[in-house]
Amino acid sequence: MVNARRELCRFSLFNQLVVVASDPEDIAQIMKRKEFSDKAQFFYGFIRSFAPRGLLQMNGPDWKVHRHALEPAIAKEAVETHFHVFSEAADNFSKSFPRQAFDVHKALGLPLVRVFMRVAMLAEELGPADEQRLRDAAHVLDETLEAVNTRSFQPLLWPEFVYNRTPMGRRINRALGEIREFVDATIVQRRLQAVRDAEEAALGRGVARKQIMLDKMLQSDAFSNQDIMDEFFTFLSASTDTTTTSLSLIFKMMSISPEIQDRVRAEVDQVLGVGADARSVELQDLPRLQYMEQVIKETQRIAPSTPFLARQVYQQTELAGKTIPANSTLIVNVHGAHHDPVHWPDPWRYDPERFAPGKQHHPCAFIPFSAGPRRCPAGFYAMMAMKTMFASVIRDYVIEPVDDGVREAKDLKLTFNLTARIIGGTFVNFRPRTTLAG
């Protein structure tokens, strides 16, 4: 990973000039200046190849229209109505652990995709066919993001006609096509259901259904079926992959930080109860898990799930006293800002007290969900998922380390595949708390 630097640096990548900003002051300027609001062609261009009109990768007036239209679907109040889905998924995940160490990053993908599908696309309980589609979607998501990363650093794969003819491109496009058929059929079903519900309501019959993200999109004139398809893939990746990354790293840090883990557990026990008296997480519990939130934020600071952001520079401009040429890529080094020693003394020291109530920090020294107008709108969704899953696991297990040489945060061997991850996998042990006495 790139270390923090207090000045802009630049380099050429395949004849593409890249300017990297790591200083939170410089990043603050980038986030609020309109000429830096568009996502870069580099990186995001390869996401547009399979979902051109998703909120993450769109630019210009279309982005503003989609963002405004999506706000009711991803608002805090809308997400909270589906909290039972998060809680059920967390309980089921906590019951599924094997007895030996396993890669928790891989294990988290499917349950988090399941949550997204029920909150965004399906609403009802999932049947066997839906479960298989979920497994396919989780696998396709991982392969697609890996392909985006691979293409970014292999110029021969940049042209679509070349990539689409490679074994990787053909395999992913075929899998994406199958998922698109499923999403398209779901859109048709929800449209028909909306018509039937309206007819029943006009006759004074029927029961009000809990609305999901898809329903709210169908009620807006801003979205065609293709737009909905693209937003589905965008939110699936943005909400699932980043949350998977953060949660797996949280569990890893707990395995090597027993005193911090004990303090989280004491808080969870106080809120949820212990042993036979323990219960599932409820919505009103989340604000009470204050120290847990500090732990989540400190983990996001140590290893942000999205270590870099990229913006397009169309015209020559000035930033931090330096000239940035036209048609260059501006990289916001989130990882660097999170490790800036000016704002975070001893930056590799894992200390949740940095986020204790009343503690202040530069607003762009901690940007796990980006900042400014293009701040991730799913931040509340992600925090709800992480807290619920984290609390359920800590309620039931003690998280123990594996013999991989990782004893503190600076030992983490991080790479990124659009999102951060540990090289070789994120392995930990989960010991049921009921076995500790014996």
Q: Tell me which DSSP letter residue 384 carries.
A: H
Most distant CA pair in the chain: distance in Å? 68
Alpha-carbon dihedral sign for residues 381, 384, 387, 390: negative
Q: Is residue 376 part of an annotated ligand binding site?
A: yes
Take residue 403 and report the two structure tokens written for it: 């013999």
Per DSSP bridges, beta strands 419-422 and 16-21 are unpaired
**Cα 236 to Cα 242: distance, rounded to the nearest angstrom:** 10
Take residue 197 and report the two structure tokens written for it: 């519900």
**Cα 307 to Cα 111: distance, rounded to the nearest angstrom:** 24
Of 89, 115, 94, the closest CA to residue 393 belongs to 94
**Cα 10 to Cα 331: distance, rounded to the nearest angstrom:** 10
**Cα 116 to Cα 85: distance, rounded to the nearest angstrom:** 9
Evaluate whether 95 touches 107 at the Cβ level (below 8 Å). no
The tally of CA atoms less than 13 A away on the side-chain side of residue 355 is 20
Show binding-site residues for heme.
376
Show binding-site residues.
376
